């Protein structure tokens, strides 16, 4: 569940916000009543060996439609995490 907090609540209660993030909670941050950003926990990064990747990709159909292939891959692996 996403909780909405103000900039002041983030500033004054950052330790509590960090604890809630570690517990899996998401936040929308507002300034002057307007949403300006979001905070969410980082998903743990898991390294996979080449052998594991080959096994996982072996089951893909190669549908020919890049949007369909992308949806199939994301359904299996999860969405891209830029910056990992």
- pTM exceeds 0.75 for this model: no
Question: What pLDDT score does 79 carry?
Answer: 73
Domain assignment of residue 54, yes or no:
yes
Same-domain pairing of 33 and 6: yes
Tens-place pLDDT, residues 7-65: 999 999 999 999 999 999 999 999 999 999 999 998 777 787 888 878 877 776 665 67
Same-domain pairing of 10 and 29: yes
CA distance 78 to 4: 25
Same-domain pairing of 29 and 51: no
Tens-place pLDDT, residues 64-74: 677 877 787 78
> 6 with 17: CB under 8 angstroms?
no
What's the Rg (C-alpha) of the chain?
18
Range of the domain at 27: 2-39
């Amino acid at each position: 569940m996403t909780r909405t907090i103000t900039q002041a609540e983030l500033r004054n209660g950052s330790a509590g916000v960090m604890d809630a993030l570690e517990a899996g909670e998401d936040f929308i941050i507002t300034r002057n009543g307007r949403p300006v950003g979001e905070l969410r926990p980082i998903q743990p990064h898991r390294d996979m060996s080449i052998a594991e990747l080959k096994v996982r990709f072996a089951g893909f159909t190669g549908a020919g439609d890049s949007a369909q292939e992308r949806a199939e891959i994301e359904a299996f692996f999860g969405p891209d995490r830029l910056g990992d």
